[in-house]
Structure 1
Amino acid sequence: MSGIPEAVRVHLGMELKALYASILDEDQPPTLLGLIAQLDVGSTPATPAVPDAFRAGLLDALPGLRAFAVSLTINPTAADDLVQETLLKAWANRHRFESGSNLMAWLCTILRNQFYTVCRKRKREVEDADGVLAGKILAPAAQEASSDLRRVWEHLGKLPAAQREALMLVAAQGMTYEAAAELIGCQVGTMKSRVSRARSFLAGSLGMEPRHAAAT
């Protein structure tokens, strides 16, 4: 559990939920919508109905998938590239997806694996340290709803990706520690520690608590 006051935790949670909702409410990029529409069904190893259902599932998952990508990259352009690669990989491996299981979780696993592959190749995190790009993606309605929302978003970009991911899953999306740990593939205790450190860093950055250095 985070050592910050409960009122601070609640306030940060409200801001993060509003932030996540603002990303979900954005119009989806035409490039991604077009990609899904144009995915080839000719080489499908299954019945014709399966690709259509899978394509529909990709469309339904797109807002949440893109929001997850944005929370990882803090860069809308990089997020869209990441989602595009995820969609292509998912389509190529659709025969591996078990019908009836959680498509969103499966897609998020592909997306985050791709993200960290890119990070390893670049030997640095993909982030906008100054929050310049991050501040441009907020919906106007969300900016008007809270004077703190933009500042919260800007400081998210200064967190290590692992902490930012954990915080967005638990505090913004409302996942349990157990569910988030299962998705990421880490111990529940590790998930709790990452969320706690991220909360403390944001609280300090926003002047709510003495600032703690972010650490992985």
Structure 2
Amino acid sequence: MDEQDKPGAQRAVIAQLLPELRAAARMLARSRAEADDLVQETVLRMLRGLPGFVAPPELAHDPQAALRPWGLTVLRNTFREGWRRARRERDHLEANPPEEEAPRQTDQESAHEVRDLARAVSRLPPSMREALMLVCARGLSHEAAAQICGVPVGTMKARVSRARRALANALAPVNA
């Protein structure tokens, strides 16, 4: 591919990655709206960063294989930035509470297992949720997920194991 066609081809590959980015964002975010915002911000950052993107030599022949890990990394970093921002805002609100707090609205309780699973996953710490999403939901190897997250393989395996255990405990039937 010549240099003039390269940006257009890379944009087309990013468009092909949208379903995967949406699925990954859905695993990280607590709602569809948050996931959509996360994907939108990720795509904007990827488009802004395209001129400086250099594919690894071993993946230079396959643009999708080259852009996929980068896109997931951009998504993860964007999520983490938002999570840190929300934590700072939450800490600020705790330090300066409003005069009177309104009761929190909760979703209608449901017996649907999928909704229960989604809630349990959303309660996991971000690092465990991310590990679970990459290895279990996306089907990446522990090694590939560890590379995307920039952690040792053993750390990735431990995060996945702890996330699975936490989900099993959260979804276990309550015995009175």
**Fold conserved between structures, TM > 0.5:** yes
Q: How does 1:196-207 map to 2 (within 5 A)?
A: 196-207=161-172
Task: For 1:72 and 1:58, locate their aligned partners in 2 and report how far apart those are by CA, in whole Å.
Answer: 19
Tell me whether 1:154 sits opposite 2:119 in the alignment. yes
**Structure 2 CA distance for aligned equivalents of residues 195 and 119 of structure 1:** 20
User: Whose helix proportion is higher, 1 or 2?
Assistant: 2
Secondary structure of the structure 2 residue equivalent to 1:189: helix
Structure 2 CA distance for aligned equivalents of residues 149 and 124 of structure 1: 31
Q: Give me the identity figure in percent.
A: 42
Counterpart position of 1:67: 23
1:131·1:153 contact (CA, 8 Å) conserved in 2?
no
1:62 CA displacement: 0.3
TM-score normalised by length of structure 2 = 0.74
Structure 2 runs not aligned, ≥5 long: 91-104
Give CA-to-partner distance per residue, 1:104-133, whole Å, 9 cap, x none.
Answer: 11111111111111222222699xxx995x
Greater RCO, CA 8 A, separation 6+: 1
Post-superposition shift, 1:154? 2.0
Cα separation, 2, equivalents of 1:204 and 1:154: 13
Q: Distance in 1 between matches of 2:130 and 2:174?
A: 22
Q: Could you give the per-residue CA deviations for residues 47-79 of structure 1, whole angstroms, max 9, x where no partner exists?
A: 441222012101110000111111111211111
Q: Is the 8 A contact 1:69 1:111 kept in 2?
A: yes
- Structure showing greater Rg: 2
Residue of structure 2 in register with 1:188 after alignment: 153
Report what 1:19 is aligned to: none
Q: TM-score, normalised by structure 1?
A: 0.62
Extract unaligned runs of 5+ from structure 1: 1-45, 136-146, 211-216
**2-structure distance, mates of 1:61, 1:181:** 20
- What SS class does the counterpart of residue 124 from structure 2 fall into? coil
CA RMSD of aligned residues (A): 2.8
The number of residue pairs the alignment matches comes to: 150
